[in-house]
Amino acid sequence: MNKALFLSVAACFLTGATFIGCKKDKNSDTSNSITSITAKVEDGERLNGIVDEVWAIIYYDDLNKMEIIEEAKYSNAGFKIDLPSNVNAACLMPVGEVFEWLQNELEIIDLDMNISISDKTAKFGVITLEGHDDTDSYVGIFSYENFDERQTMTSYSLVVAAAIYWYVDKNVTITASHSDSGIYEGVRYSETVNFNLPLKKGWNGVYLLIEISARASGNSSATASLKLNTVEPTGLKWVFHDNFDDFDWDFFLKSTLKENQRTIFHEKFQIYSKINEILFSQNIF
């Protein structure tokens, strides 16, 4: 079961001191290096007595195996997990293999995305933050995220952002870019994808940001961008998803957008459903 990350229907903007976030590594020269995760969960009081512990888990070997790298008690609507300085090498995936696979899969559907990896021998793992009750049964996942969807009769906009916690066994930088624009069935469209990940050995905060907008009146237009970098976007909150399994991005686009906007997104913005299919299925997100 893939419970890596959900891009949820959550509250839109950060209000007040709703989270504490991640403890930075004072000895590191990069702000995305972290040593612990501290969370204050939105509406987290309801989980007292339901969630007993939070497990930081790495799934590996095609999700057939898992390793609990740390556990923390859930109390007072939150938790703190101190991340280990080293992770079992058996839990890690080769950076080069995974991202080269992504590039090849995108080329199959005629999407050219230039992916550069500074050290293809580097390996990485991604943690899932699972909630478990006092019998050790799984009850859901915790995610640091933002979901802001707005729709009128003539326009649609979506902002999805989430934090992902990566461990790498050596310094590695991953960059990628893709852009496309034109006119399709009378709709002017543009899309961009950008990865900029200067990762340091140890734990890193990585952030996914997807922004989509469409206008169906006047000069119809549709734009989409996807960013994966180490810059925290605004508006993230800690939320809990009960018994979460998978998120189907392709279905989301097809079912949520208006009928006169679906064709353009489905036909021209295939990169989003393809990245969801590959990266989510490999438990990267």
Higher pLDDT, 141 or 4: 141
What residue ranges do the domains of the chain occupy?
21-281
* N-term to C-term CA, the chain: 13
Span 86-102, mean pLDDT? 85
On the question of pLDDT at 20 being above 80, the answer is no
pLDDT tens profile 34-63: 899 999 999 999 999 999 999 999 988 877
Helix/strand/coil for 260:
helix
- DSSP string covering 110-157: T---EEEES-TT-EEEEEEEEEE-TT--EEEEEEEEEEEEEE-SSEEE
- Give per-residue pLDDT as tens, 200-229: 999 999 998 888 887 776 677 888 888 899
Would you say 125 and 70 are in contact if contact means Cβ atoms under 8 Å apart? no
In the numeric block, the tokens 């512990």 are attached to 53
pTM: 0.78
